[in-house]
Amino acid sequence: MSTTISFWPLLGVATVALGFICRFNPMLIVSVAAIVTGIAAKMPFHEILAQVGSDFVKARNLPLITLLPLPVIGLLERHGLREFVQRAIAKVRTATAGRLLIVYLFVRELSAAIGLMSLGGHAQMVRPLIAPMAEGVAESHYGKLGSRQVYRLRAFAASTDNIGQFFGEDVFVAFGGILFMQNVLHNMGIDVDPTRIAFAGIPTAVCVFVIHSFRLYRLDGWLDREQRTAAVEDVSASAGEECRP
């Protein structure tokens, strides 16, 4: 026996998207979206307010947990964390920027696969540690880097964190996306164990690791070509100056 699914509550998602496009206050957007979703789901208004209040009480410590590491990391950077990391990684002779990011991709993807989502992150890991380490390794091989090389290394460091978490968390059995898929399939009359859904994500995670590792391997080759090109341009410029009368 099939049941009719109402898609009207999805208006809350549209409300969130429209609010961010219009650049309204995020708290206002989320609050309005919650009310719109409740009304679309035909919930009484007092129940909507009660649910919003209950969820707020449950998550009242979340901003503290989320924002507390940021001033700590800022204080460490002020006292030379980035410079220390660059000097330390530059002493590893066999390290390259690509190899370093491949190792981080493996750690990030594996940690996300076992549920440690907060182990990495742009603010917590990439900006203060991973990006400076990649820059330090590259400078130890090629000397002073130009802005083009620096920004490319930072972009690859950020993308490595994103890719590792995105495809690693799909293997974690308690990930919200997996539970959501199980619930959708259950409503359609298909009973699937969440463990099977998580295992189905392993081949994709492995393929993504191989593909992005190859891109990081090519990053080292790109740095080599950039530095050779810069060296040739410097030599040509020096020769031109010497030939001037």
Query: What is the band of 34 on the pLDDT scale with cuts at 50, 70, 90?
Result: confident
pLDDT digits (tens, 9 = 90+) for 138-176: 888 888 888 889 999 999 999 999 999 999 988 887 777
- 43 is in which domain, residue-wise? 8-60
Q: For position 233, what pLDDT does the model report?
A: 63
Q: Where are the alpha helices (DSSP H) in the chain?
A: 11-21, 26-40, 45-58, 62-67, 69-78, 81-90, 97-113, 131-142, 147-168, 176-187, 194-200, 202-243
Q: Has residue 71 been placed in a domain?
A: yes
127 with 216, same domain: the answer is: yes
Residues 38 and 80 in one domain: no
Lowest mean pLDDT among 50-59, 126-135, 219-228: 50-59
Contact between 146 and 139 under an 8 Å Cβ cutoff? The reply is: no
**Mean pLDDT, to the nearest integer, of 96-110?**
92
Decide if 175 is inside a domain. yes
State whether 173 and 67 are in the same domain: yes
Question: Residue 159, Cβ neighbours under 10 Å: how many?
Answer: 16
Copy the structure tokens of residue 154. Answer: 């930072």
Distance CA(134)–CA(126), nearest Å, equals 10
Task: Indicate whether 79 pLDDT > 70.
Answer: no
Same domain membership, residue 162 and residue 130: yes
Residue 120's region, left for phi above 0, alpha for psi from -120 to 50, else beta, is beta
> Does residue 102 sit in the same domain as residue 176?
yes
In a domain, 115, yes or no: yes
Please tell me the distance from the alpha carbon of residue 186 to that of residue 196, in angstroms, as a whole number.
Answer: 14
pLDDT at 1: 43
Residues 118 and 190 in one domain: yes
Q: Are residues 146 and 25 in the same domain?
A: no
Q: What is the pLDDT of residues 107-118, one digit of tens each?
A: 999 998 888 877
Identify the pLDDT of residue 137.
87
Tell whether 94 and 183 lie within a shared domain: yes
Helix (H, G, I), strand (E, B) or coil at 194: helix
Tell me the pLDDT band of 73, cut-offs 50, 70 and 90: low
Q: Determine the average pLDDT of the residues in 36-60.
A: 77
- 68 in the same domain as 171: yes
Structure token digits, residue 76: 């460490």
Confidence of residue 101 (pLDDT cuts 50, 70, 90): very high
Q: What percent of the chain has pLDDT over 90?
A: 20
Rounded to two decimals, the pTM is 0.65
User: With 90 as the cut, is the pLDDT of residue 28 above it?
Assistant: no
Chain segment 12-22, per-residue pLDDT in tens: 888 888 888 88
* Mean per-residue pLDDT, 97-102: 92
Once rounded to an integer, what is the mean pLDDT over residues 184-213? 87
Pair 54, 106 in one domain: no
- pLDDT given at position 208: 94
